[in-house]
Amino acid sequence: MITNLFSVFDPSSSIIIFSNWLRSVIFLLLISPIFWIIPSRNNIILIKLINFINLEFKTLLGPSSFKGTTLIFIRLFLFIIINNVIGLFPYIFTRTRHLTIALSLSLPIWIILILVGWVNYTKHIFAHLVPQRTPMVLIPFIVLIETIRNIIRPGTLAVRLIANMTAGHLLITLLGNQTAAANNLILIILIFVQILLLTLERAVAIIQSYVFSVLSTLYTREITSH
């Protein structure tokens, strides 16, 4: 039961009570296998989208990337965008607004990149800590700043996704709470504004999944390029 405004950001307030990860993948289980076998308009659009994202990620990663790396980020992109869009339906909690989900997506990638970088590209990692032509006096401070920047990367990825997905939902909830006491004219205006906000949120859902995946590829490029 929703008891206050911020209860909409609590997954326990959803009608269906499952674990966060189960509710994240349950939509994929509902997709019929025929969707992937028989060509349709939606299937063709999805394939074109995947091909476009694949070429984009290959360009970002560069020629020195490992084969199949783009598939990881494509799956990450599709997982985030599906959960973002599903969260726009009534009484469905957006999984990517929860810190456990967002951090679970960014932290493993960051840990793998750090391990691969320190094991295979140790000199390259050390070189990234100190930019060229840095004065000797500033080297300790630059190293400290770069180290902190690398450590907080998974947190910034997660918080960016959570903040952008939460802001629009919060505004829609605030406007929705005003409809009960509104007269006919105000009600029409509120409904029109909410339709515009839902359209904007659909765009934000796509953009944020793309931004999350692109930033992950850029972090990978920074470590593997040498």
Q: Could you tell me the pTM of the whole model?
A: 0.76
Q: For position 28, what pLDDT does the model report?
A: 65
Higher per-residue pLDDT: 181 or 147: 147
Q: For position 24, what pLDDT does the model report?
A: 63
Higher per-residue pLDDT: 93 or 153: 153
Confidence of residue 30 (pLDDT cuts 50, 70, 90): low
Structure tokens at 5: 């405004």
Q: For position 11, what pLDDT does the model report?
A: 53
Confidence of residue 27 (pLDDT cuts 50, 70, 90): low
Average pLDDT estimate for 210-217: 89
Per-residue pLDDT at 18 exceeds 60: no
The SS3 of residue 109 is helix
Per-residue pLDDT at 40 exceeds 80: no
Share of the chain above pLDDT 70, in %: 80
Confidence of residue 17 (pLDDT cuts 50, 70, 90): very low
Average pLDDT estimate for 154-161: 88
What is residue 152's DSSP assignment? T
Average pLDDT estimate for 68-93: 82
90/203 Cα distance (integer angstroms): 18
Q: For position 5, what pLDDT does the model report?
A: 47
Confidence of residue 31 (pLDDT cuts 50, 70, 90): low
Per-residue pLDDT at 8 exceeds 70: no
CA distances from 169 to 8, 131, 139, 202, 226 (A): 9, 41, 44, 11, 42
Structure tokens at 80: 């985030």
* Other Cβ atoms closer than 10 A to 106: 23
Average pLDDT estimate for 74-83: 86
Name the residue with tokens 């990450």: 76
- Mean pLDDT (the chain) is 77
Q: For position 32, what pLDDT does the model report?
A: 61
Average pLDDT estimate for 204-210: 88
Q: For position 19, what pLDDT does the model report?
A: 56
